[in-house]
Amino acid sequence: MDWRREWKWLVLGVGGFAAIFLLPVGAARFDGAVLESLHLLKWYAREHVLLCLIPAFFIAGAITVFVSQAAIMKYLGPGAHKGLAYAVGSVSGTVLAVCSCTVLPLFAGIYKRGAGLGPATAFLYSGPAINVLAIVLTARVLGWKLGLARAVGAVVFAIVIGLIMHALFRADEDARTNAIPAAPPVAPVRTLGQDVTYFAALVGILVFANWAEPSTPWGFWSDVFAIKWLVTGVLGLGLGVMLVRWFQLPAVSLAAVVLATIVAAVAVPGQPLIPFTVAIVGLSIVTSRDAGEAGEWFTASWDYARQITPLLLGGVLLAGLLLGRPGHEGLIPSEWVSRALGGNALGANVFASVAGAFMYFATLTEVPIVQGLIGSGMGQGPALALLLAGPALSLPSILVVRSVLGTAKTATYVLLVIVMATVSGLVFGAWA
C-alpha cells in the first residue's frame, strides 16, 4: 500500500469533513451568500449559456473542423507576420460583443489549431475588452476621458500582453509548434467566399442574439436592438440554407427545425429565448446524426462544451458565493470593496485590478457598476483599472484558461493583466 498517497487522501478527507462540520449554516451572511451564488448561477444559465456559450461552442467547433491548420499557422501561428497576427488578435473584440467566458471556446479553438501563444492571448484579452458597445457606453455614462482611455488601453494591453507571453514562453511554444503534426494538403470542399459567409452567419447570430438594450430608447444602437431577433432569425435561416446546399444536410430535417422554431415563436410571443432554444436543440439533433462534416462539427462543439461548461458553472457559483450579484451581498461585504477603492492611491488601483480580475462581469454590466462605485468615492484611476481588468478576466474564465494553457501560463497572463491595469490606473488617475 502506498501510504504517502493514502495520507494525502486522509488529509483531504479530514479537511473536507471539518469544513462541512464547521459550516456556519444559519448565519445570515453565509445563508445569504449561498442564495446569491445560486441566484447568480441561475441568471448565468438563463442569460449566457443558451445565448452566448452555445453559439460560441458551435463557432469553436467550426474553427476546429472547417478552418485549415495551415490557415491558422499562416495568420496566427508563431511564424506568422507579427503585425498581421497581433492586429487580428487585438481588434477582434470590436466585432465580438462577448464576455470573458464566452470568448473562451473561441480562444481554445484557435489555440488548439496552432495559433501562437502571443496572438491567441491577445485575442483572449481583446475579445471581451474591446467591445465597441461597451466603449461607447463608457464614454457616454462615465465621460469621454474614461471611454478613450479604456479603448486605447485595451488595444495596447492586448498587443503588449501577447508579446510578453510569447517572449516568456518562447521555448515552450517552439516545442508545441514542432509537436503539431503538419496537416497534409487537402483540396478545399468549399470556396473561401462560402466559408467566410458561413462563419459570418455564425458570428452574426452570436452578436445579434446578445445585443444589449442601450441606455437610451433612441439612436442607432436602439434601432438595432429593436430588430435584433429579426436579424438573428434571418441569419439562422441563411445558415440553414448553407447547411443544406454546402454541407448536404437533409433539407426535410432542417425544414422541420425551422417549422418548430416558428411554432415556438408564435405559441410563446415575447419569449425569444424559447424559439432560440428550439432552434439550437434541433440543429444539434440534425448535425449529430450526420456522418459527414456536419457530424464532425457537432462532435468538436460538444467536446468544447464538455470541457468548459463544468468549470465555468463552478466558477460562477464560487464568484457568487464570495462577491454576490451587483447590488447584493456575498461573503465579502460590498462596503469593504467601496472603501478599498477610494482615491487614486497605489493600494486602490491594485485592489481594483485584483477585484476586477476575479469578479464576473456580464457584457456591459461593468459600466453601471463602476458608475455606482464612482458615486461612492471611487477614484478615476481605480475606475479605469477595473474597466481594463474586469471584463477581460473572471474567476470562471481563469479556471478554464488554466485547463487550456496550464498553471504557469495562466498565472502569468492574470498577473500581466493585473499589473498593467494597476499601472494604467495610476497614470490615468494622476492625469485625469
pLDDT at position 417 is 93
pTM of the model: 0.74
* 41 DSSP assignment: H
Q: What backbone phi and psi angles, to 5 degrees, belong to 273?
A: -65, -30
pLDDT at position 423 is 92
Query: Where along the chain do its domains lie?
Result: 32-181+189-249+290-431
CB 391 within 8 A of CB 131: yes
pLDDT at position 215 is 67
Which residues of the chain are under the pLDDT cut of 50?
A: none
pLDDT at position 98 is 62
Closest CA to 70 of 167, 187, 229: 187
* Cα distances (Å, whole numbers) of residue 83 to 89, 92, 165: 10, 14, 16
pLDDT at position 165 is 92
For 207-249, give the DSSP string.
HHHTPPPPSSSSSHHHHHHHTHHHHHHHHHHHHHHHHHHTT--
